[in-house]
Chain A
C-alpha cells in the first residue's frame, strides 16, 4: 500500500487560523507488515489514520490501492483512540454490528469476546463498562472482521499493564494466524519497539517522516531488556533532531 500525502490542512475555524497538519508524508506498507507510527501528541498521527481509512478525503495526495470491500465485509479494522461504541447497543451487539449477517455467527462473536476476556459482559451496555473494558470491546470489534488492514490509534492506553500485555499478545497471535497489515499509532517508543517490524517517527506540525527504523529483534526475543537496549541504542545513534522526535520527555 502506498500512502503519499503531499499536504493536509484543516480550514480556519473562528479565531484559529488554517493549520497545515501533514506535509510530504510518503509511506509504503508491505502486505503483512507491522508499522509503528511514533510521534508526539498532536502531531497529526490520527489525521494520518483517518486519511488511510478513507474517512477524510479532503487532502492533497493519494492512498493506493484504496481499500476495497470483499463481498460486503469490511477490510479495515479501525481501533479509534476513544472506543466509539454505540452506548445503546450491548457489548455483543456492538461487535456483531460490523459483521455482515452471514458471517455474524454466535461462534465467531463468542470466540472473539472470549479472547478479549469479555464473555461474561456480552449483554452489558457500554456505559456500565470501565474504560479498559470498553477498549477491549473496540479491539474485539476490529479483530472480528479479520481485517486486511488494521489501523490502531493508541489502543492500549488507560488499560492496566497486565491487561495491556495480554491484549498485545492477543494482537500478535491474531497476526500470526492471519497475515494482516498493521498501522499502529503510539507515543510510547517501548510499545512501538516491542510490537512493530518498522518504526516511523513523525515530527511536526506539519508532520513529515523524520526517521525510519527497522526493528531487528526477533519477535520472541523482545523482552523488557532487549527493548530497553534497542531504545537506548536508537536514542544514542540518532542525531539531535531525531532525539527530540523520539524522546519528547
Chain B
C-alpha cells in the first residue's frame, strides 16, 4: 500500500472512532461518559497549566529507566541462555517462576522490601519485563547462523567485534520485537506502581481522578500517554528499525 493511502486510511479510522465515541457520549448524556470534545478540553487545560507535561515527564522518565534496564539485563541473560545449554537448564525454572509472578505482587513486594522510593518502582517494573525480554532474546540467540559464527571463529575475531558485527545484527529483529511489546507493557505497569506508592506521575493523577469520579480527567491523561507512546513508536523505534534493516532487499 502506498504511504499516502495508508495515512488516509489511518486518519479515516481515527475519525470513525472519535465519531462513534461522540455519538455514544451524546446518547448517554452523563458526566461518567464524556465525549472526545470534553476530554480534549480537559487535556488542553492540563497542557496549558503545565500539569500534564510535568506528570507525563515523570512517568516517562520511569518508563525510560525501567525500559533500558530491562532490555540490557534481559538481552544479556537471553544471549547467555540461548548460547549455553548449561545456563539454560540452570535458570529455565527461574524464568518460568518470574514469568508467572503477577506484576502486582512484584510491585507490592518491592515497596515492602525496598521502601516507597523511586528505586523500588524501577526495580519492580524491570523485574516484570526482564523475563519477557529473556524469552525473546533466547529464541534469537538460539537461531544464530552457525556459518557466520564459524567464519568469525576461523578469522579469530575478537569478542567485541564478534558481538558487534556478527551476533547483534542477527538479534536486532528480536530486540525490535521485545522493545515494541516492552514499551506497551512497561508503561502500563509503571502506572500501577505509581498508583500504589508514588505521589506523582500519571498513575498518581489517575488515582486522584478516580476518587473524584472525574472520568474526563482519566481519559485525558490516558490518551495523552497513548499519543506519546505512538510518537515514540513512529519517531524512534521505526526509524531505528529502518536503519538496521537497510541491507535487506
Residues of A within 8 A of B (CB): 50, 53-55, 69, 72-74, 76-78, 80, 82, 84, 86-89, 93, 97-98, 125, 127-128, 141, 145, 151
Contacts and interface: CB of A to CB of B under 8 A. Distances in A.
Given A88-B169, A127-B249, 7 more contacts: A55-B153, A69-B156, A78-B154, A80-B151, A84-B148, A97-B157, A145-B155
A50 B154 CA distance: 9
Contacts of A84: 147-148, 150-151
Contacts of B41: none
A184 B33 CA distance: 78
Given A80-B151, A127-B247, A86 B156 contact: no
Contact of B148 (A55, A69, A86, A151): A86
A55 B163 CA distance: 18
The winner among B150, B158, B161 for most chain A CB atoms within 10 A is B150
A12 to B, nearest CB: 18
Contacts of A86: 148, 165-166, 169
Nearest to B166: A86
Contact of A98 (B150, B157, B249): B157
Contacts of B157: 97-98
Contacts of B244: 88
Chain B binding surface, main DSSP class: helix
B151 A74 contact: no
Contacts of A127: 247-249
Chain A binding surface, main DSSP class: loop
The 5 closest A-B pairs by CB, nearest first: A74-B156, A125-B247, A98-B155, A88-B169, A78-B154
Contacts of A73: 156
A86 B148 CA distance: 7
Contacts of B161: 97
Nearest to A75: B156
Contacts of B151: 78, 80, 84
B238 to A, nearest CB: 18
B145 to A, nearest CB: 9
A128 B155 contact: no
Contacts of A76: 154-156
Given A87-B247, A89-B165, A82 B147 contact: yes
Nearest to B164: A97
Nearest to B245: A88
Contacts of B156: 69, 73-74, 76
B87 to A, nearest CB: 21
Contacts of A74: 154-156
Nearest to A96: B165
11 contacts: A53-B154, A77-B155, A78-B151, A80-B147, A88-B169, A89-B247, A97-B155, A98-B155, A98-B157, A127-B248, A145-B155
Contacts of B158: 72
B242 to A, nearest CB: 13
A78 B216 CA distance: 67
